[in-house]
Amino acid sequence: PSSRALAEHYSAQAQAAPDSMKAFWMPFTANKQFKAAPRLLASASGMHYRSVDGREVLDGTAGLWCCNAGHARPRIVEAVKQQIETLDFAPNFSMSSPLPFVLAERLAELTPGDLNHVFYTNSGSESVDSALKIALAYHRARGEGQRTRLIGREKGYHGVGFGGISVGGLPNNRKWFGPLLPGVDHLRHTLDLERNAFSRGLPPSGIELAEDLERMVALHDASTIAAVIIEPISGSAGVVIPPDGYLRRIREICDKYGILLIFDEVITGFGRVGHAFGSQRFNVTPDIITAAKGITNGCVPMGAVFVSEKIHDAFTHGPDGAIDLFHGYTYSGHPLACAAALATLDTYAEENLFDRAIELGDYWEDAIHSLRGLPNVIDIRNFGLVGAIELAPRPGAPGTRAYEVFTRAFHEGNLLTRVTGDVIALSPPLIVERQHIDQIFGILSDIIRTTA
């Protein structure tokens, strides 16, 4: 049977027998609630999904911030098909195949500064834990093994590994899982609805929050601090845009004290805010970048850690034959992922997709801010092709209003959005056109207007 026929077969099966949905323990989902009224996608192409009940659904979120070139792009599909027929797997421990090398060179051309070395992972979470380990090992390799302290931020999201949740700052992701990593501190978050509500692009107020890092240096001494990890724009916390100048000031403080700066670009990488990386758009170069999602357009799991020359070089001074870094995954540099990534980079380049967030930035901004004044809308945030609409929480029932808007958008509006807490988050594929933007905010406007 064709792949489409198979997808339809399984979709029909899932729909006919909701009981058959028990075994899959869905991630980050209220499983009982979901299974009582499932939302199932059957296929996808370009800007649209098709739901199992046959509706065309506009993708307002690039899947989960990952399908930046839109869905089922022929070049990527073909590359993956050919690759699985040619070389389905090759180990990368003291053995390899050509593709990871070819891809790494291509990626190194896209990264800012001299972040010219690529360590492959399979997800954003793995990228984050790898980056934290590389930062610790880097200091140790240089004889500064006392630099063990890691600094994250309140509201930060860095995936779900123990390292990631330790430096992360979302209480629900932390509180169930014990003491986490020792020696971690958090800078305050920068979301300030009082001073910055409805600001367009970078919020004007809050640069002084970067001085939290100076306070941590004063408290612990710089000689104990290994790295600071920051999402240039945090997505999972409900889209927090950095105050104007904030990232630059963090960079200055890190430079002053020899602290490594890690940008977690799992969502801001690969064109989401213009340029290949958010670092370039913000004109602040970190020492390490973590990435995933858009690297393969979401179609094969892959992540990457990009490190600067100085970091990479610190690992190459051991005796001949010594392993540089005692870290890696069976699937680091998987051939299918590499093939998907190369075809994805070709697609981004051919269609100039990294320019889209800048070309469409003003249009996107005007469109999303046209929702200002609708009932219960307490903030709107945007940057590049990222947007957030924050709704006032219902008394005693936080999140329920946004969740209702999200489900109604899907069922009634044929629009896929993302809900996190009281925020509706948007991040369309970069192939989005003005007409889709009009459609997204037209649908959301109708639904928010009629959601009590």
Residue ranges binding ligand PMP (CB under 6 A): 123-125, 128, 157-159, 231, 235-236, 264, 266-267, 292
Looking at the Cβ atoms of 11 and 236, the one nearer to ligand PMP is: 236
Q: At its nearest, how many Å lie between ligand PMP and the CB of residue 343?
A: 20
- Output the CA torsion 122→125→126→132 (10° steps): 150
Q: At its nearest, how many Å lie between ligand PMP and the CB of residue 266?
A: 4
Q: At its nearest, how many Å lie between ligand PMP and the CB of residue 41?
A: 18
Whether 39 and 50 have beta carbons less than 8 Å apart is answered as no
Q: At its nearest, how many Å lie between ligand PMP and the CB of residue 4?
A: 27
Looking at the Cβ atoms of 111 and 376, the one nearer to ligand PMP is: 111
Q: At its nearest, how many Å lie between ligand PMP and the CB of residue 256?
A: 26
Whether 345 and 294 have beta carbons less than 8 Å apart is answered as no
Residue nearest to ligand PMP (CB): 124
For residue 89, give both structure tokens.
Answer: 């797997």
Angle at 324 between CA 94 and CA 288, to 5 degrees: 115
Q: At its nearest, how many Å lie between ligand PMP and the CB of residue 235?
A: 5
Looking at the Cβ atoms of 158 and 275, the one nearer to ligand PMP is: 158
Residue 347 in 3-state DSSP? helix
Looking at the Cβ atoms of 112 and 269, the one nearer to ligand PMP is: 269
Q: At its nearest, how many Å lie between ligand PMP and the CB of residue 451?
A: 26
Backbone angles phi, psi at 51, to 5 degrees: -80, 165
* Cβ atoms within 10 Å, residue 350: 10
Looking at the Cβ atoms of 173 and 199, the one nearer to ligand PMP is: 173
Looking at the Cβ atoms of 237 and 345, the one nearer to ligand PMP is: 237
Looking at the Cβ atoms of 124 and 169, the one nearer to ligand PMP is: 124
Half-sphere exposure of residue 276, counting CA atoms within 13 Å on the CB side? 22
The whole-angstrom separation of Cα 445 and Cα 210 is: 35
For residue 117, give both structure tokens.
Answer: 């070395």
Half-sphere exposure of residue 413, counting CA atoms within 13 Å on the CB side? 25
DSSP string, 127-155: HHHHHHHHHHHHHHHTT-TT--EEEEETT
For residue 346, give both structure tokens.
Answer: 């070709």
426 - beta bridge partners?
Answer: 387
